A and B are shown apart, each in its own frame.
Chain A
Amino acid sequence: MKKTLATRIFMSISLLTAILVSQQLNAQNTGVINTNLNVGATVLAQLKLTNNADVQFGNLSATTPGHVFLSPTGSSHTNTGVSTSVGKFTVEGSTTGSVKVTWPANIVLNSSVGGNTLIYNLQVNGNGSDLASGSTILGAGGLGVATTADITLVAGKYYLYVGGKVGGTAGSPANLNAQATGVYSGIANFRAEYN
């Protein structure tokens, strides 16, 4: 069969077209898919809970006209002794760390004499600044009920102030009524952990 120049050109073009199409489709079957995997972690500073002061109700009358209340704010105590002390803890950790603090709602104080006991219902206040008078009650239920609170450290610190009432029963404070004399003491365990 005789082929004209035009025919040859058309045939070449058609062949070239087929090759190009073929190569283009083949090209879709090789390649690389690239992805980056982020690995990360936030490391927090060690958490410290320091007991700066113990709770002291002072010398109490065996019978009181009202509740014996040691205010965590440091003032407006009622029926306490003259020499008192609000308990204090400092929580230290990461700059703006969120921390869960837990404590007992109440504890039993044991007398140094005999087997007498006294119930102590705790009230815990907190403040991002080291100022008891500006502290506010922590935890749901407040005095004698609350056992936990979430706090946020301010510049890596937070302050807890501890007061409450002695007398009555757990969760139900009452006046002292012919309480056996003696020195009463007990230990309340506080715990702090990052959320």
Chain B
Amino acid sequence: MRLWELIFMMLWNLILGNHSVIAQRGTVQARIMNGYTGLIFNQIGAPLISGNQQSYSITIHDSRTLVLEIAAPARTPLMIQIQPITEILNHTNSPPSSIPFAWEAAFCNEGLNDERMARNQAIPLDPNQNNFQFEMSDYQNIPGNPAPFENRVKAFLYVYGRLGPIGPVTPGYFTNSMNIEVWY
């Protein structure tokens, strides 16, 4: 075998190597929609008052809902893991006062790249589970659905929830953090 044959062989192997993974190539991307600050329950005109027994909901159609956009090639298996929290806390007290929080989530994996379309078709996730497995759907070629970019189709995770009843807590700022992981 001559040197040029060896070089050809190396190049061929490189090409074969790339070909063998091209079908799976294309990284998974996930991003939170721009300007998102969190599930903040304060709202002008609807203050949370200590002592009342009212509950407050952020629904899927609320602008405060977290929208996690996942872009990945069709058929990519995904696992979403949500580490739930059941309360938010005011740490200025010892022990901290707490308010019950129940997370809710919905997922749309219908091959829709338009977030508004996806939101209307999102299916609620069971809050008694923490792990959810999906396979990215094929792009749905329907009017109004933007074409895939770099062969990635989108799925959307919506996280929202319900706070309360407030109860006789010490006034102040209550907070907690939920961790969401997307495995692919």
A41 and B181 contact, Cβ closer than 8 Å, known pairs A13-B10, A17-B14, A18-B17: no
Q: Is A40 at the interface (CB under 8 A from chain B)? A: yes
A41 and B28 contact, Cβ closer than 8 Å, known pairs A10-B10, A21-B14: no
A46 / chain B contacts, CB cutoff of 8 Å: 49-52
Mark B152-184 against chain A: 1 for CB-CB distance below 8 A, else 0. Answer: 000000010101001001111111111111111
Q: Across the interface, name the chain A residue whose C-beta is closest to B15.
A: A18
A31 and B6 contact, Cβ closer than 8 Å, known pairs A37-B178, A43-B166: no
B99 / chain A contacts, CB cutoff of 8 Å: 41, 43
Instruction: Assess the B184–A31 pair: CB atoms within 8 A.
Output: yes
Q: Is B24 at the interface (CB under 8 A from chain A)? A: yes
| Shortest CB distance B49–A (Å) | 6
Mark A1-41 against chain B: 1 for CB-CB distance below 8 A, else 0. Answer: 10100010011011101110110011011111111111111
Instruction: Assess the B163–A41 pair: CB atoms within 8 A.
Output: yes
A41 / chain B contacts, CB cutoff of 8 Å: 40-42, 48, 56, 88, 99, 163, 173-175
Q: How far is the CA of A65 from the CA of B29 in the complex (A)?
A: 81
Q: Across the interface, name the chain A residue whose C-beta is closest to B51.
A: A46
Q: Is B60 at the interface (CB under 8 A from chain A)? A: no
B18 / chain A contacts, CB cutoff of 8 Å: 21-22, 25
B85 / chain A contacts, CB cutoff of 8 Å: 39
Q: Is B142 at the interface (CB under 8 A from chain A)? A: no
A195 and B44 contact, Cβ closer than 8 Å, known pairs A21-B14, A40-B174: yes
- Of B70, B161, B174, chain A has the most CB atoms within 10 Å of the CB of B174
Chain A: number of interface residues, binned into ranges? 35 or more
Instruction: Assess the A34–B1 pair: CB atoms within 8 A.
Output: no
A195 / chain B contacts, CB cutoff of 8 Å: 44-45, 47
Instruction: Assess the A1–B48 pair: CB atoms within 8 A.
Output: no
Instruction: Assess the B44–A35 pair: CB atoms within 8 A.
Output: no
Q: Is A94 at the interface (CB under 8 A from chain B)? A: yes
Q: Is B121 at the interface (CB under 8 A from chain A)? A: no
B66 / chain A contacts, CB cutoff of 8 Å: 37
| Shortest CB distance B176–A (Å) | 5
Q: Which of B31-39, B112-120, B126-134 contacts A (4 or more CB under 8 A)?
A: B31-39
B139 / chain A contacts, CB cutoff of 8 Å: none
Instruction: Assess the A43–B182 pair: CB atoms within 8 A.
Output: no
Q: Is B59 at the interface (CB under 8 A from chain A)? A: no
| Shortest CB distance B31–A (Å) | 9
Q: How far is the CA of A104 from the CA of B70 in the complex (A)?
A: 54
| Shortest CB distance B8–A (Å) | 10
Instruction: Assess the A33–B14 pair: CB atoms within 8 A.
Output: no
Instruction: Assess the B175–A33 pair: CB atoms within 8 A.
Output: no
A44 / chain B contacts, CB cutoff of 8 Å: 47-50, 171
B37 / chain A contacts, CB cutoff of 8 Å: 38
Closest 7 CB pairs of A and B: A38-B38, A18-B13, A14-B10, A18-B17, A41-B41, A194-B47, A33-B30
Instruction: Enumerate 15 A-B pairs (CB-CB under 8 Å) in ascending A order.
Output: A1-B1, A7-B6, A10-B6, A11-B9, A18-B16, A32-B182, A32-B183, A33-B29, A38-B175, A39-B38, A41-B40, A41-B163, A43-B99, A45-B50, A46-B52
Further 6 A-B residue pairs, CB within 8 A, beyond A34-B180, A35-B179, A39-B161:
A19-B17, A38-B175, A39-B176, A40-B39, A42-B174, A46-B49
